[in-house]
Structure 1
């Protein structure tokens, strides 16, 4: 089969060079988000498929079937990226196989307990790995062992992680000892991006996330997590009118404190900008109160708190019913109780680092403000820090101390991101 026609995209010199020079057994693109690494790697994967050795399977691997569909097949089937080749890529979201340029390609999500078993029976002629740092090391090693057809190659992309991550220490740092080529991309390498978008993205990411997702650096998580939080900037004494009462985020506790934070999106200000506000907080510390509450009692107190929040719809009004109550996913029985009591509970997304990044971006972009009454969040935010011992092992994790309001806010904001994100665009 002949090599596919070139993409209609205007590729950067770094993208072109990485496509032309990715001839090693292992080829890895790492770096910033939106830096062009994924497009370059996918175009190279298409070229490889067109000429791949026969007698072995071709495999696409990602963390989940959703991320594979979004990160791999959405670009591959976009005519603006792959031109007429897009018509020769046949894939149904969630399917175990695809057909690309007439070749059957196995689709494997690495978080499925059965996925490694699928690998064990394979002889592979080529593999594409999306978000390689999210793949378990055992799965990666098994995949490499399966690339046994003569001339087989692997192509992988990843955002940077901790400098002690196994992919960096055991592979990228040892590339001179391996048949491996690596390309590092920064946000500024993608000249096709709108300069205003690049400026906005740089402003939104701060600290650890700026270094990894803008500069593409493999850096250790250290120090304060929300180091961009400034009480003079982010804490307010008065709330503006709310356009939408979005959610209550709940961190459920029995021995530890129970914390709930009401979150709203304001009407546009004079510049047409809406913001998210942490408007009110309910907290029950069973140690301080010397009494633990049942699920029914927590629900009753939560409803009483919401019914008595003042001026939620203007001066002299009381009470609010947000669209959702987003609850700590470990509190299944409490979610059931809230359903019985007429609220709309939903299990929170507990992707810790993704949630921290969501809150960080909002604070960094000045899209999040905190009413002074939300004392739990204000008290906890300054001491919320990365765990040094886990960072030394290549893991990004916060110290799990005094984080109850922070967790409640993280659940509430990260889980409802699809609802509030479009509202933050300037209204005029």
Structure 2
């Protein structure tokens, strides 16, 4: 069995490295399955042999994700030994030098990214998380691979089976100059068996089928099918060591929902309290100034568990990014730590689902709006049939507020919660 500096490579990984000779080469499957390490060895081999006269590109959603998923591993001597010394890269830079070749790093998080590569002649491109790239950008990349011997290498976790990457490329491998390799969690020989067992227990339903079994399956039914009031709703709270944020889904005609997220002394996340205003039920719409005042009043009355103290000042106030006027009102009222929410729906849902699966996210019984919404929060069948994962946009306001809060503050709470929640490849 071939080894990296510290980790073994499986026969499947070795075969994929050796056989990555097609115009399009794709590694897909579960998280932590070893597909990324295999693809990076293939990338180094491809750079060494890349034809002259064309650019070498590494693409991903953002420069940050490229750095975290690709460049940091490539410069890790524990993984790549002496080869890591031949990778010259500065975090945040748009170029790197790998094996003596200049490599351009390109973030592609929306359709406008297509313009970044127009007119380019490309000899080699590596795509991180292909299914998350804009379709037009991916097609433009393929059109730019015009140098003789040029090729594309890419990795991805599974998505909806109607996704364009699955339907138009992987399913047509026999018709195209394309090779693909499917990996499951059990294909990675470098993982601790206890870690593997924990991951298999923590992911359920859709996320288990995609991220453990590596299957391209359709989203259907409840979004949080592992939510159980008996497991996830609590009557008492531990001491809260950090008041991380309040997450706000803004509404005027629709309900306004604000959930307070804290990190407990037991190293779990807690929805400690919730404020909601439903203008239809109250028969009165509130202005931005009134919502801001109501928020301050609510937070001033939140009790501290196991303490006589009352009143909370969250580190961050995470707001629905579309609520620009309310964000401005909060600034006017002197609220510090106001930030726009990370509204990446699928990533946010997956993070919340993983926390529920590991019972690292609990909800106080006073958050009745959220507790009422969670069981009925469901996937949109029409969107699923079109190859997209989207929840039904009804009775989802507290669910959205929770997703905003959890996802946007992930860098704050992740160091305190076991790394089993990582969903890297």
Secondary structure in 2 aligned to 1:177?
coil
Q: Verify the 8 A CA contact 2:3 2:9 in the aligned structure 1.
A: no
Q: Verify the 8 A CA contact 1:327 1:348 in the aligned structure 2.
A: yes
Total equivalences in the alignment: 416
Q: Deviations over 1:280-317 (max 9, x none)?
A: 1111111111211111111111111111223x153543
**CA RMSD between the two structures:** 1.9
Tell me which residue corresponds to 2:183. 185
Tell me which residue corresponds to 1:414. 407
Shift of 1:6: 8.0
Tell me which residue corresponds to 1:271. none
Mean Cα deviation higher: 256-265 or 396-405? 256-265
2:215 is aligned with 1:224: no
Query: TM-score normalised to the size of structure 1?
Result: 0.93
Secondary structure in 1 aligned to 2:286?
coil
Tell me which residue corresponds to 1:297. 290
C-alpha distance in 1 between matches for 2:387 and 2:157: 14
Shift of 1:420: 1.5
Query: TM-score normalised to the size of structure 2?
Result: 0.93
C-alpha distance in 2 between matches for 1:211 and 1:396: 14
Structure 2 counterpart of 1:389, from 367, 382, 385: 382
Secondary structure in 2 aligned to 1:69?
helix
Mean Cα deviation higher: 193-202 or 210-219? 193-202
Secondary structure in 2 aligned to 1:92?
coil
Q: Verify the 8 A CA contact 1:7 1:43 in the aligned structure 2.
A: no
Q: Verify the 8 A CA contact 1:125 1:152 in the aligned structure 2.
A: yes
C-alpha distance in 2 between matches for 1:19 and 1:290: 64
Paired residues for 1:70-109 under 5 Å: 70-109=68-107
Q: Verify the 8 A CA contact 1:53 1:149 in the aligned structure 2.
A: yes
Ranges of 4+ aligned residues in structure 1 off by more than 4 Å: none
Tell me which residue corresponds to 2:272. 279
Structure 1 counterpart of 2:232, from 227, 234, 238: 234
Q: Residues 120 and 245 (structure 1 numbering): CA distance in 2 closer, same or farther, change over 3 Å?
A: closer
Q: Residues 352 and 318 (structure 1 numbering): CA distance in 2 closer, same or farther, change over 3 Å?
A: same
Structure 2 counterpart of 1:333, from 316, 320, 325: 325
Tell me which residue corresponds to 1:168. 166
Secondary structure in 2 aligned to 1:176?
coil
Q: Deviations over 1:224-259 (max 9, x none)?
A: 001101111111222232222222111111111111
Paired residues for 1:38-49 under 5 Å: 38-49=36-47
Structure 1 counterpart of 2:355, from 353, 362, 386: 362
Secondary structure in 1 aligned to 2:335?
coil
Q: Residues 141 and 316 (structure 1 numbering): CA distance in 2 closer, same or farther, change over 3 Å?
A: closer
2:22 is aligned with 1:24: yes
Structure 2 counterpart of 1:374, from 361, 364, 367: 367
Paired residues for 1:120-199 under 5 Å: 120-199=118-197
Mean Cα deviation higher: 102-111 or 209-218? 102-111
Q: Deviations over 1:93-137 (max 9, x none)?
A: 333322211112222222366642342212222211111111222
C-alpha distance in 2 between matches for 1:105 and 1:120: 17
Structure 2 counterpart of 1:314, from 294, 299, 306: 306
* Structure 1: stretches of 5+ with no match in the other structure: 269-273
Q: Residues 246 and 116 (structure 1 numbering): CA distance in 2 closer, same or farther, change over 3 Å?
A: closer
C-alpha distance in 2 between matches for 1:403 and 1:112: 25
Tell me which residue corresponds to 1:52. 50
Shift of 1:141: 1.6
Q: Deviations over 1:361-405 (max 9, x none)?
A: 111101121111111011111110000000001000000000111
Shift of 1:26: 1.2
Q: Residues 358 and 112 (structure 1 numbering): CA distance in 2 closer, same or farther, change over 3 Å?
A: closer
Shift of 1:343: 2.8
Q: Residues 320 and 109 (structure 1 numbering): CA distance in 2 closer, same or farther, change over 3 Å?
A: closer
Tell me which residue corresponds to 2:422. none
Tell me which residue corresponds to 1:346. 339
Q: Deviations over 1:137-179 (max 9, x none)?
A: 2221221121122221211111111101111111111111111
* Structure 2: stretches of 5+ with no match in the other structure: 420-425
Structure 1 counterpart of 2:391, from 388, 394, 398: 398
